[in-house]
Amino acid sequence: MQVVILCGGSGTRLWPVSRSLYPKQFVKIFGEHSLFQKTILRNASLASSFSVVINQDQYFMGLDQAEETGVAANRKFILEPTGRNTAPAIALAALAARPDEVLLVVPSDHLIDKQSDYEEAVRKAEELAIKGKLVTFGIKPGYAETGYGYIESNGLEVKSFKEKPDAKTAEEYVRAGNYFWNSGMFCMKAGVFLEELQILAPDIFESCLRAFTNAKSDTALRISLEDMKAIRSESIDYAVMEKSKKVNVIPADIGWSDLGSFDSLYDTLPKDKEGNTVSQNVIHISSKNNLVIGGKRLISTIDVNDLIIVDTADALVIAQKGSTQKVKELVGLVKKHNPEMTEVHTTAHRPWGTYTILEENAGYKVKQITVRPGAKLSYQYHHHRSEHWIVVRGIASITIDDKSFELKANESTYIPKEAKHRLANLQNDELVIIEAQVGEYLGEDDIVRLQDDYKRN
């Protein structure tokens, strides 16, 4: 069985912890492993291979985190230049598989606590998929949740899919006993899904087939932007599952959460005896039932209850519990005033390593740049800024125009505006430098790449 991991989330509902270029599936909220890594580890014993459908800007982050897990199963990455929802993503994965291959399709950003129950549910779903069924997993509802869609069942058969209900309707669903939360997980043969897609949404099938046929394949399958934009954006539920006569549902009690808000995150995190989430650098006085996520700064609460407090290096969000669905609205407002804050943290991840913005003001910006062993930045130049590099740790291999040289710790160099340059780490240890940028414009889009090992524009 091939496990298809859908990895295209934009990171808006857990902002500012997650950003569009560092969405929640890659954030290590629960210790040493991210949700994406937990997804790989959870399915390692079930998978003969993995297929990861991912935004092309997150490819190297996903590749690095997949390798960190140590799971040896074969894996391939399908790179989307822009998202088109779940139906096209699954179609591309299905086109890359054998028609008779069973696909277990799972989101990358969900949490599942009951491993043995999960494996049992997957085995039941696989048996039905082998018989030609399109199988979805229905989560037994623990309460009347208005933030999820519901599946109405008649035994294994699906009677209907329901949109997110109001509170009264959700309570009726729970009392009825045959309604389940829609988990967004599926199991089916690749060929069966494609046949149903071709019948029920032929335009999506044809445009996906065209995109797949035209795709470039090297270390990953790369879909062109033009072909991807030509695909109609649609969920698998709307495109296929709600119309097909082949759909079955497996009721599942697997300790599932989609972590779609800070409220749902609060429910999953360990808490102290007063109901406050357990965190370092946090002190509570007469405070109860608070979620606090922070970093290096000490956070203190006094006489406050039922709050969400999320502190990052560049943003602070304070919300009332029960209101965190409005974070998506907040992100829209932030995007109007400072779009970069919705995209990256002060620490940004790149294929070659990371950079952290230490200071920024009119006319200058100071960064710490960390380059992984054997990695190199693109050969590039800038129209609007000059740069000063100071080596803090390691040995920097530097090219400026036609001159190449090395710098060691406490040595520095200057890169004039318009000068073609490259920074590389040819050693076996990390390279750390401080970069001071000076210029009239310091945006990350002032980069003209002449050559790049990672096939970025």
Distances (CA, A) of 344 to 16, 327, 347, 377, 440: 9, 17, 7, 18, 22
Asked if residue 277 and residue 239 are part of one domain, the reply reads no
pLDDT value for 344: 85
Percentage of the chain with pLDDT > 70?
A: 100
In which element (H, E) is residue 203 found? helix 202-214
Asked if residue 286 and residue 147 are part of one domain, the reply reads no
pLDDT score of 11 more than 80? no
- The token duo for 200 is 């029920």
Angle 449-62-87 (CA atoms, 0-180°, nearest 5)? 100
Band (382; pLDDT cuts 50, 70, 90): very high
pLDDT score of 243 more than 90? yes
pLDDT value for 375: 96
pLDDT value for 195: 98
Q: Which of 412, 134, 364 is nearest to 246 (CA)?
A: 134
Asked if residue 249 and residue 142 are part of one domain, the reply reads yes
Length of the chain: 457
- Residue 427 gets which letter from DSSP? S
pLDDT score of 29 more than 90? no
Q: Which one has a higher pLDDT value, 435 or 350? A: 435
Checking 307-314 for CB contacts under 8 A at 24+ apart, the result is 308/262, 308/263, 308/266, 310/16, 310/17, 310/262, 312/16, 312/17, 312/345, 312/346, 313/345, 313/346, 313/347, 314/16, 314/341, 314/345, 314/346
Which whole number is the average pLDDT over 353-376? 95
DSSP string, 321-385: TT-GGGHHHHHHHHHHH-THHHH--SEEEETTEEEEEEEEETTEEEEEEEE-TT-BPPEEE-SSE
Asked if residue 185 and residue 65 are part of one domain, the reply reads yes
pLDDT value for 8: 81
pLDDT value for 345: 86
Q: Is residue 457 part of a domain?
A: no
Asked if residue 53 and residue 105 are part of one domain, the reply reads yes
pLDDT score of 450 more than 80? yes
Band (153; pLDDT cuts 50, 70, 90): very high
Q: Is residue 335 part of a domain?
A: no
Q: What is the rounded average pLDDT for all residues in the chain?
A: 94
Q: What is the pLDDT of residues 162-197, one digit of tens each?
A: 989 999 999 999 999 999 999 999 999 999 999 999
Q: What is the pLDDT of residues 285-323, one digit of tens each?
A: 999 999 999 988 999 999 999 999 999 989 999 999 999
Q: What is the CATH number of the domain that holds 70?
A: 3.90.550.10
Band (428; pLDDT cuts 50, 70, 90): very high
Which whole number is the average pLDDT over 114-133? 98
> How many separate domains does the chain show?
3
Q: What is the pLDDT of residues 214-237, one digit of tens each?
A: 999 988 999 999 999 999 999 999
Band (396; pLDDT cuts 50, 70, 90): very high
Asked if residue 206 and residue 177 are part of one domain, the reply reads yes
pLDDT value for 296: 86
Asked if residue 403 and residue 295 are part of one domain, the reply reads no
Asked if residue 116 and residue 250 are part of one domain, the reply reads yes
SS3 79: strand
Q: Is residue 333 part of a domain?
A: no
Beta strand 385-393 pairing with 412-415? antiparallel
Which whole number is the average pLDDT over 65-75? 91
Q: What is the CATH number of the domain that holds 403?
A: 2.60.120.10
Range of the domain at 364: 346-451
